[in-house]
Amino acid sequence: MRIFGTDGVRGKAGSDITPFLVLKLGISAGLYFRKQGVTNRILVGKDTRRSGYMIENALVSGLTSVGYDVIQVGPMPTPAVAFLTEDMRCDGGIMISASHNPYEDNGIKFFDRLGFKLDEKAEREIEEIFNHEEFLLNNFKTHTGIGSSKRIDDVIGRYIVQIKNSFPKNYTMQGIRVVLDTANGAAYKVAPTIFSELGADVVVINNQPNGYNINEQCGAISPHALSEAVKKYRADVGFGFDGDADRLVVVDDEGNIVHGDKLIGALAHYQHQNSTLKNQKIVATVMSNFALEEFLQTFGVKLLRCDVGDKYVSDLMKKEDLNFGGEQSGHIIFSDYAKTGDGLVSALQVIALLKQSKEKSSKALNIFELYPQKLINLNITQKKPLEEIAGYQEWLKKIESKKMRHLVRYSGTENKLRILLEGKDKNILESTMEEFSQFLAKALQ
């Protein structure tokens, strides 16, 4: 049975993600971490979804049954769990979150003892254990071997100190007004605290989680409320986070949403100017606009591409010994400060960029133009192999003959087909997308 997708385990809470599955997964993960473990501790965090209570309890039960002591830190951003796992010398870390998905979904992400997301090889090992029923039943602990659990509520301070240290010591946020949209998610406490302590004039919206309103018409997934708030409060910049705060969307002082590739380009340029960009290369995914690649070339920086998913960005960064990369969706990794995408670290780097440039965000974050690009998410009922669709290859050749770039892939977490087209002629792009998406929608009915 395959249980891992592109970003951990994810699905509808109560139907796909059941207490039985989570209990078994907790046992399997515990047995996996046991093989290279040294401290006998696992750290568990979660976002603000109501189903987190159900999943957390089942997970803790599974881990303690194979002898692990569990540290529960409650609602916490995903990058905080990654940081705390290493900082508190745990054998592994687990985050309960479905990130940007609606509240009815939930998921589980795993980190190794250094705070990195588990790679596919490790996920397959956990799956092998998960599917070996006899092995699971023969590895329960008894008597004094059974683990314990403890909830710690004050570790948020460690993460706040870590994040603040990523902001240049010679800068202050005095005189800067920011709007923070915490998406009723895991950053609802930590984000306002960090920006306030650094001296910013902070306006916070969507920071009243009730278990059901996470990502609901707010945050990085729906930044229109953030845009309106920036204009209303005449803010210098706005930051929208997703449910677990590993993603960032930026709104400039005019209320415009900054495209993710422009954000990556501006931050890469900022680091290049300060000689902090390692090996003059950055990592982005196959989704990124070709104009980003061309812009980076103008100051001698090379763009390396990987598959979609921040763990693939991180893997390529480690392989090439790089310290910056990201996805246009807002997962941005500054590996000097965080092991995974961290919306708060990224937001602080944007403020540092603005302080250095002494320009308004509408200018400082808009330093090159993108080629027209269109992305459509088709709701589908089946994930039929694309190469088996009659006429599909002919369509790709037709698109290429019009000098357009294409990327078609199934979502790893939802029943959707993502179609991306990019070209220099907007009219041709839109008409081609309309015909191509209709063709695929009909083929996948």
Which residues, 6+ apart, have CB-to-CB distance to 202 below 8 Å? 177, 178, 180, 192, 195, 196
Asked if 17 and 106 count as a contact pair (C-beta separation under 8 A), the reply is yes
Task: Write out the two tokens for 253.
Answer: 């002082």
Distance of CA 197 to the CA centre of its chain: 25
Of the candidates 291, 220, 295, which has an alpha carbon nearest to the alpha carbon of residue 258? 220
Residue 105's DSSP bridge partners are 12
Can you tell me which residue has the tokens 């606009």? 289
The answer to whether 314 is a known catalytic residue is: no
Asked if 88 and 40 count as a contact pair (C-beta separation under 8 A), the reply is no
End-to-end Cα spacing for the chain: 26
Q: Where are the beta strands (DSSP E) in 186-242?
A: 201-205, 237-241
Q: Which of 51, 65, 99, 329 is catalytic?
A: 99
Of the candidates 217, 266, 208, 209, which has an alpha carbon nearest to the alpha carbon of residue 237? 266
Which residues, 6+ apart, have CB-to-CB distance to 399 below 8 Å? 406, 421, 432, 436
Task: Write out the two tokens for 163.
Answer: 């994040």
Residue 406's DSSP bridge partners are 421
Can you tell me which residue has the tokens 């001296």? 199
Asked if 38 and 121 count as a contact pair (C-beta separation under 8 A), the reply is no
The catalytic residues are 99
